[in-house]
Amino acid sequence: MASIWDPGMRDRLVGRVTTLRPDAERRWGSMTCPQMLAHLNDALRMAAGDLRVPSKRLPIRHPPLKQLIVYVLPFPKGAPTAPELIARRPADWEPERRDFTMLLDRVIARRGSGAWPEHPAFGVMTERAWGVLVCRHTHHHLEQFGA
């Protein structure tokens, strides 16, 4: 299972982000490429515990739905997200892109440190689940812009 805990995967994700251009055409959805990168960065801030996002009481918080979505099913295009993860106006392109690497590394550095923040949709998650979810979420949005 692809995970950010694999150093090679971390390098591949960072490499894919470096290929992005601010004017890249989206394949689906309504975000621009800069908005998508800001969204990824804010999702990383949430995973790092820096951005608090209120919990939603959704059925996907419970097994087996949670495991199916985190580990198995493809992410649906255009799925709803927490408003806090799409509210921020993107910073200038290069700082936003540099922030991705810094934030990803901060999340990776949390490995083995204990409790993780509660995910707004999936609730309490293990470290393993966070590693897979961050990887799959990032991959989903990079695919959205052809990276």
pLDDT in tens, 60-118: 999 999 999 999 999 999 999 999 999 999 999 999 999 999 999 999 999 999 889 99
User: Which pTM was predicted?
Assistant: 0.97
Instruction: Say how far apart CA 28 and CA 15 lie, in whole Å.
Output: 22
Cis, bond preceding 63 (omega within 30 deg of 0): no
Give the total residue count for the chain.
147
Structural Rg of the chain based on CA atoms: 14
Domain map of the chain by residue range?
Answer: 7-18+30-144
